[in-house]
Amino acid sequence: MAELLTGNALVGQSGGCTAVINCSLAGVVQEAARHAAIGRVFGMAYGIQGALAGRLLDLGGEDPTIIQALCGTPAAALGTCRYRLQPDDPARAVALCQRHDVRYFFYIGGNDSADTSHRIALAAEAAGYPLRVIGIPKTIDNDLPITDHCPGYGSIARFVAEATLDAGRDTEANRYVDPIKIMEVMGRNAGWVAAACALGKRSDEDAPHLVYFPERPLSVPRFLDDVKAAYDRLGFAVIVITETMRDERGQPLAEEGATVADAFGHSRLVGAANRLVNLIQDRLGLRARYDKPGTIQRSLMAAASPVDLEEAYLVGQMAVRYAVAGEHDQMVTLVREPGPAYRCRTDLAPLAAIANQEKKLPADFINDAGNGVTDAFRAYALPLLGPPLPTYPRLTRAVEDGGHEPQISADERR
């Protein structure tokens, strides 16, 4: 049986915000209060970057109703960062823990945050300082290995599915004005978010009509053929891409000079949708426009999935239980249980196996044409969204009066 450590806890949030990241924070704080081994609970203001500057909050001293209300609060209540540890930073983090008698270290984040946590765990071991380090998964990209899915994904999936479905109705209604629309969504190097845009589609007319993924380089000629075929069939088309789409040469579709990299070398690419809109207008002669939800897609509380909220709290809660039980240098994972009803339990995976790794969209989740999703993906993702997505009627009672469809000139199409 593991030695019972007595001391304080330190928790932080890192990376991109989500609609449910504060649920994990609430799970940590509320569960820590149930364990006599944990005294005070400190929060890192703006992640490890703020902590290293001595910016801490007394979370245990907060009004309990405020901690509970975090479960309905978007973004990161503590503040977040994208900070890559410098060579002496892990030892500085351990020294900070020593000064405040911190024996439990919890960090809520994704791939890069797992790296941060793992390096601090190693530094504590090297210093001979008993410190239990547990990573808590969070990323809208859904690209952490080992875990079935990541808290944050179910909510962005619900948002983009509804947004795409509604954008499709808007485009369908405006087919004589702007018949082509491109939706550009997040997702970094994996197509999980783009794939989720198809979760509200129930008929051929429903958007999206084409979806493209970072896992499959985009052939521009084939893309244009796909768009023309969809337009010829329906009279309009909605296409989904990720902001990181690359062509067959591996070059980003984003316009040259639009790249900004964070501390971990992850590029923020902008302009991919705009480039494809211009190609559609220039080569197909069809008016096109694009929608780009931006950061609202990852943090809109109104679209938060109840399943996602519950699981985000669960991984924070279980992180504390695992740490008190003696686990160290691990990340909490979600494990889907077999059976017709959706159920998940938690487990652990070594932080070293998560750090700086990416889980791509599996090949069997992408259709043979590379421009849509399969039923296997729908079966995987739909339970994460919570209640069923909306369904909309279509008017069908046409009156034939012998009129003729108006002719649209090339200038009008543009």
**119 within a domain of the structure (yes/no):** yes
- Please state the domain count of the chain: 2
244 or 116, higher pLDDT: 116
- The residue written with tokens 């919890």 in the block is 106
**399 within a domain of the structure (yes/no):** no
Mean pLDDT of 141-150: 98
The per-residue pLDDT for range 122-144, each reduced to its tens digit, is 999 999 999 999 999 999 999 99
Say if residue 168 is in the same domain as residue 116: no
Task: Report the distance separating Cα 163 and Cα 188, nearest Å.
Answer: 19
Please report the pLDDT score of residue 411 as a whole number.
Answer: 59
Q: What is the CATH number of the domain that holds 159?
A: 3.40.50.460
Q: Is the per-residue pLDDT at 257 higher than 50? A: no
Please report the pLDDT score of residue 1 as a whole number.
Answer: 60
Phi-psi region of 107 (alpha: psi -120 to 50; beta: other; left: phi over 0): beta
Pairing state between β 288-291 and 180-185: parallel
Say if residue 280 is in the same domain as residue 307: no
Torsion over CA: 374, 380, 382, 385 (sign): negative
Say if residue 121 is in the same domain as residue 207: no
Percent of the chain predicted with pLDDT > 70:
93
Mean pLDDT score across all residues of the chain: 94
Please report the pLDDT score of residue 261 as a whole number.
Answer: 54
Q: Would you place residue 270 in the very low, low, confident or very high pLDDT band (cuts 50, 70, 90)? A: low
Instruction: Report residue 22 as tokens.
Output: 């504060």
**335 within a domain of the structure (yes/no):** yes
**344 within a domain of the structure (yes/no):** yes
Say if residue 133 is in the same domain as residue 223: no
Q: Residue 337 class from Cβ within 10 Å (0-12 exposed, 13-18 middle, 19+ buried)?
A: exposed
**403 within a domain of the structure (yes/no):** no
Say if residue 364 is in the same domain as residue 342: no
Task: Report the distance separating Cα 389 and Cα 161, nearest Å.
Answer: 8
* CA distances in angstroms from 41 to 30, 64, 101, 132, listed in the order given: 10, 13, 11, 14
Per the residue annotation, which of 141, 143, 206, 226 is the catalytic one?
A: 141
Q: Would you place residue 267 in the very low, low, confident or very high pLDDT band (cuts 50, 70, 90)? A: low
Is residue 274 within 8 Å of residue 49, measured between CB atoms? no
Say if residue 321 is in the same domain as residue 281: no
Annotated catalytic residue 89: no
Please report the pLDDT score of residue 260 as a whole number.
Answer: 56
Task: Report the distance separating Cα 346 and Cα 311, nearest Å.
Answer: 9
Say if residue 131 is in the same domain as residue 44: yes
Q: Which domain holds residue 58?
A: 7-140+302-354
pTM of the model: 0.94
The per-residue pLDDT for range 299-338, each reduced to its tens digit, is 999 999 999 999 999 999 999 999 999 999 999 999 999 9
Please report the pLDDT score of residue 3 as a whole number.
Answer: 80
Closest-CA residue to 160 (of 412, 385, 391, 332): 385
400 or 407, higher pLDDT: 400
Mean pLDDT of 204-217: 97
Say if residue 332 is in the same domain as residue 259: no
Say if residue 218 is in the same domain as residue 271: yes
The per-residue pLDDT for range 46-73, each reduced to its tens digit, is 999 999 999 999 999 999 999 999 999 9
Say if residue 103 is in the same domain as residue 181: no
Residue type, 162: E
The gap from C-alpha 72 to its chain's centroid, in whole angstroms, comes to 18
Query: Which distant-in-sequence residues (6+ apart) come within 8 Å of 203 by Cβ?
Result: none
Say if residue 306 is in the same domain as residue 192: no
Please report the pLDDT score of residue 259 as a whole number.
Answer: 52
**325 within a domain of the structure (yes/no):** yes
Closest-CA residue to 38 (of 348, 351, 321, 333): 321
**282 within a domain of the structure (yes/no):** yes
- DSSP labels for 46-76? THHHHHHTT-EEEGGGS-HHHHHHGGG--S-
Q: What is the CATH number of the domain that holds 36?
A: 3.40.50.450
**1 within a domain of the structure (yes/no):** no
Please report the pLDDT score of residue 93 as a whole number.
Answer: 98
Say if residue 336 is in the same domain as residue 275: no
The per-residue pLDDT for range 96-105, each reduced to its tens digit, is 999 999 999 9
Task: Report the distance separating Cα 141 and Cα 298, nearest Å.
Answer: 10
Torsion over CA: 338, 343, 345, 350 (sign): positive
